[in-house]
Chain A
């Protein structure tokens, strides 16, 4: 059974740039959630995708957007990067109606 994978592991961007992060869900899981984890904090929910549609969104501005593909993989896009966007971005996969969300290793984004 393949776990959740994310790419890249690290990246550095400049304020104002755009970034795309990628996630492959655990085998058989068709629901993907994205979280932002600032240093020393718990993960904060950004949004969830199910059947290629956004299925819930947290308190994040529209410059945070996403996609889910037919193979259940997902992308998180962030436009107009701000310094406060520096964080660990986590992807979690799950099956609908079942509680367990399984996280990938995350992408560490640094905005300078």
Chain B
């Protein structure tokens, strides 16, 4: 079955810097890759997603890139702000219905 690995597990940046989180997946049939932000005491919030027929997608300060050949995808956050501090999860969906999640990255943005 699908396996998703996520790095780093923790990331600390200064306000205004960029942050990059990377994930790899194992199932070449996976075709949908969402990213979620989870704040303390809340459920995961979908922040951006990408499908396998697209290499890059951007939404304001957030962008996601996908390399199907290497089976990895990345989240890029530019001009980070303290409110970006949270746990970020990548996920992949293969032929089935399940989203398979990485173990998460705790992002801390200090002002």
Tell me, in angstroms, the Cα distance from A56 to B91 when the chains sit together: 17
Number of interface residues of B (CB under 8 A): 25
User: A44–B97 contact, CB under 8 A?
Assistant: no
Q: How many residues of A contact B (CB 8 A)?
A: 22
Q: Which of A55, A58, A99 touches B34 (beta carbons < 8 Å)?
A: A99
Q: Please pick, from A42, A43, A100, A103, the residue contacting B49 in the complex, using a CB distance under 8 A.
A: A100
Q: Mark A1-33, 1 if CB is under 8 A from B, else 0.
A: 000100000000000000000000000000001
Question: Which residues of chain A have a CB within 8 Å of any CB of chain B?
Answer: 4, 33, 35, 40-45, 48, 55-56, 58, 90, 99-106
- Other than A33-B98, A33-B99, give 5 A-B pairs with Cβ distance below 8 A: A42-B91, A43-B101, A100-B49, A105-B41, A105-B42
Q: 18 A-B contacts, Cβ less than 8 Å apart?
A: A40-B103, A41-B103, A42-B89, A42-B102, A45-B99, A48-B97, A48-B98, A56-B98, A90-B44, A100-B49, A102-B46, A103-B44, A103-B45, A103-B46, A105-B41, A105-B43, A106-B42, A106-B43
